[in-house]
Structures are given as structure tokens and as C-alpha cells.
């Protein structure tokens, strides 16, 4: 229960940050791909710099989780094509719908019902990937 | 029905005098970026990882997709936590939009606004999302409905194919200095730049 509540509150915090930072705004994504603002690059870049330092500290000091368990950061499987092809397809969708998966949820909560169509599409896309997985180059 | 943030403008007027009024303004990148890093660390310290697209696979499994493809035949109960995070993100979106904002216009670059107006997005600079695509009227328009659905399909397919989205690769994966995440992020930008610069003039 304590764990479930912690995921829940982290989710709420995430939703607030996505909305208030405007990272959930279609306009900000478009502006980013036009290279006409530093805003999105600043968000991702500053999160990344702090993230790199923090992850290194966690690994070097072998820190434990809040629940006393060792922290395991599982790296992604090695490969090139699935990341490149999948990334390109994702980028096309990110720019078109102007939302990545996190902001889809945030915007539904903000009251934009049309994002339910995007979510339905995302689930359909996930399903199509599941069907085709074994036939795709990875 | 959507409650427009404008309807809150009146009630939030008094906030202008409060020391915390910046909360109600859009948050700058140097506040948002560190907070996103904090969210990633919070998830790491509760024994999980930051990634907002794996829940799509979990939802598919809950909708019996495991009967159609092995990809969905996995221990979904171990992934229940990311559904809880997603539900939280919905509530956070409500709080952010309706309780912590006193306007919804996104102040993008004036040059971007003029490009968008040229493409037919008159709402550029005046709203959070383009009304032309996301307004309730747009839901009755086949073209904008198709754009939202196809956009969603590309997001879902691409995120699972690449095994991660912006949060999982651009933040978590790159923070762990993983080469696959760098390749994925390069892919995100190839796809996004192609969409905005090559396909948008054909679509809009």
C-alpha cells in the first residue's frame, strides 16, 4: 500500500510538471523541431545533466532504495535497428500529435478529451507492434 | 466537458499579490528540468524506473491482447505500478491545468506563431493546444480525427519498437549513458524533423 501510494504521488507530481512546464503543449514540440526556442532543450538537457550525475552517484555508492533494497538500473538490450527504426516512427508521431506517452495522460486529465483518440491510437500501435514483432528487424 | 482555464482566471486574480504567484505562471526550463530529474530519482529510489510508455503494453495485455500475440503474454502484475503512475499523471494534469494555472496560452516564439498561422493554426500563441486539432469541433472532422489517431498509432508502435519513449530513453537511458538510448533519441529527432519540415506542409 505504501508503495502503491508512492507511485501514485510520483505520477501526480509528474503530471503537474508536464503540464506546468508546457512540455505537454503541442506548440512547444513544434517550436522545438523548428529550433526556435531553447525551452524544450533546456528541460531535457538540465534533466539529463542532473540525471547523469545522480545515476553515477547511485551506482558508485551502491545506494539502496527507500525500502532498503539494492538499486538495479537495468540497461537496455544491445542493438541498433530497433532503436533507430522505432525511434524514427516514434518521432513522427511525437511531432504529429505533439505529445509523448506521459503528456497524453496529463492532457486527458487537463480536460482535452481529444487526447483519448491519441491514446486509443497509441494502444492500437502497441498492439500492431505486438503482432508484427517477430517479423521486424531488431 | 472541458472547463477552460480561462474560467479560473477570475478566481485566481488575487494570486497576483501572493509571494507564490510564480507557481501559477508557466514553469521555466530550469525549474522543470531538475524536477523531471527528481521524478526519475524518486522512481529509482522506490525500486522502479522512469518510463511512461511501457504501460501501453500492460493495458493491451489487460485487454486480452495476449491471446493474439506472445509479446503481450508477460507477467503484467509486475507492471501494475506503471498504471498507478499513469493514473497519477492524469490527476496531475487536472491539478496543473485547473488549480495551478491562471491562463492556458503558451508563449511560443513569434516566428513560430507566424509559421503556424501560415499553416492554418490560428490558435498559435493563444492556447495550450491547437484548437484546430484538439478542440471539440475537430473531433467531428475526419481529417483531424485521422491525424490524432495516426499520430497515436505512430507513438505507440514506435515507443514499443524502440523499447522506450522520451522519458525512458532521452531521460532515463541517456542518464545511464546507454548507447541504445542515444540511437533512439537520434531516431526521435530524425522522425520529428521529417514530420515538421517535410510532411507538415503536405498535411496542413
Chain B residues in contact with A14 (beta carbon < 8 A): 39, 52, 85, 88-89, 92
Which pLDDT band holds residue B15 (cuts at 50, 70, 90)? low
Give me the percent of chain B exceeding a pLDDT of 70: 91
Please write down the long-range contacts of A71-75, taking CB distance under 8 Å and 24 or more positions apart: A71/B44, A71/B45, A71/B47, A73/B44, A73/B49, A73/B176, A74/B49, A75/B176, A75/B178, A75/B180
Cα four-point dihedral sign B176, A77, B45, B28: positive
For A59, the closest chain B residue by CA position comes to: B176
Chain A residues in contact with B65 (beta carbon < 8 A): 127, 130
Determine whether the interchain pair B60/A8 forms a contact, defined as Cβ–Cβ distance below 8 Å. Answer: no
- DSSP assignment, residue A34? T
pLDDT at B131: 95
Q: What whole-number distance in Å separates Cα of residue A33 and Cα of residue A40?
A: 10
Cα B143 to its chain centre, rounded Å, is 21
pLDDT at B10: 42
- Phi then psi for residue B118, to 5 deg, are -65, -30
> pLDDT for A98-133, tens place per residue?
999 999 999 999 999 999 999 999 999 999 999 999
Between A and B, how many residue pairs show a Cβ–Cβ distance under 8 A? 511
- DSSP assignment, residue B169? I
Q: What whole-number distance in Å separates Cα of residue B154 and Cα of residue A102?
A: 15
Task: Compute the mean pLDDT over every residue in chain B, rounded to the nearest whole number.
Answer: 91
To the nearest whole Å, the CA of A83 is away from the closest chain B CA by 4
Mean pLDDT of B190-201: 98
Task: Compute the mean pLDDT over every residue in chain A, rounded to the nearest whole number.
Answer: 96
For B68, the closest chain A residue by CA position comes to: A131
Q: What whole-number distance in Å separates Cα of residue B67 and Cα of residue B44?
A: 32
pLDDT at B49: 93
Which pLDDT band holds residue B17 (cuts at 50, 70, 90)? low
> pLDDT for A63-83, tens place per residue?
999 999 999 888 899 999 999
Which pLDDT band holds residue B103 (cuts at 50, 70, 90)? confident
* B residues 29-88 closer than 8 Å to A (CB): 29-37, 39-49, 52-53, 55-57, 59-60, 63, 65, 68-72, 81-82, 84-88
pLDDT at A70: 93
> pLDDT for B141-179, tens place per residue?
999 999 999 999 999 999 999 999 999 999 999 999 999
For B128, the closest chain A residue by CA position comes to: A25
- Judged against a pLDDT cut of 70, whether residue A88 lies above it is answered with yes
Amino acid at each position: 500500500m505504501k508503495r502503491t501510494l508512492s507511485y501514485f504521488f510520483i505520477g501526480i507530481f509528474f503530471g503537474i510538471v508536464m503540464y506546468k512546464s508546457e512540455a505537454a503543449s503541442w506548440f512547444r514540440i513544434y517550436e522545438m523541431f523548428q529550433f526556435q526556442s531553447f525551452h524544450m532543450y533546456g528541460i531535457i538537457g538540465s534533466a539529463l545533466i542532473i540525471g547523469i550525475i545522480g545515476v553515477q552517484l547511485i551506482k558508485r555508492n551502491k545506494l539502496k532504495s527507500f525500502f532498503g533494497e539494492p538499486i538495479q538500473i537495468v540497461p537496455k538490450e544491445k542493438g541498433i535497428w530497433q532503436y533507430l527504426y522505432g525511434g524514427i516512427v516514434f518521432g513522427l508521431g511525437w511531432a504529429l500529435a505533439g505529445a509523448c506517452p506521459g503528456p497524453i495522460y496529463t492532457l486527458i486529465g487537463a480536460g482535452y478529451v481529444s487526447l483519448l483518440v491519441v491514446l486509443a491510437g497509441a494502444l492500437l500501435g502497441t498492439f500492431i507492434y505486438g503482432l508484427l514483432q517477430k517479423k521486424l528487424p531488431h | 466537458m472541458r472547463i477552460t482555464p480561462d474560467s479560473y482566471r477570475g478566481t485566481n486574480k488575487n494570486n497576483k499579490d501572493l509571494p507564490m504567484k510564480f507557481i501559477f505562471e508557466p514553469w521555466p526550463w530550469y525549474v522543470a528540468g531538475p524536477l523531471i530529474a527528481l521524478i526519475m530519482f524518486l522512481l529509482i529510489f522506490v525500486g522502479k524506473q522512469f518510463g511512461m510508455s511501457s504501460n501501453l503494453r500492460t493495458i493491451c495485455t489487460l485487454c486480452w491482447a495476449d491471446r493474439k500475440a506472445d509479446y503481450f503474454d508477460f507477467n503484467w502484475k509486475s507492471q501494475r505500478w506503471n498504471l498507478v503512475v499513469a493514473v497519477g499523471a492524469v490527476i496531475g494534469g487536472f491539478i496543473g491545468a485547473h488549480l495551478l494555472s491562471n491562463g492556458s496560452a503558451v508563449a511560443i516564439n513569434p516566428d513560430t506563431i507566424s509559421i503556424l498561422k501560415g499553416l492554418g493554426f490560428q490558435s498559435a500563441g493563444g492556447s495550450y493546444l491547437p484548437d484546430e486539432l484538439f478542440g471539440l469541433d475537430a473531433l467531428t472532422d475526419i481529417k483531424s480525427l485521422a491525424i490524432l489517431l495516426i499520430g497515436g498509432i505512430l507513438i505507440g508502435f514506435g515507443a514499443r519498437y524502440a523499447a522506450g519513449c522520451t522519458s525512458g530513453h532521452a531521460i532515463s537511458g541517456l542518464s545511464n549513458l546507454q548507447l541504445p538510448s542515444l540511437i533512439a533519441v537520434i531516431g526521435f529527432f530524425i522522425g520529428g524533423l521529417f514530420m515538421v519540415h517535410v510532411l507538415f506542409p503536405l498535411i496542413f
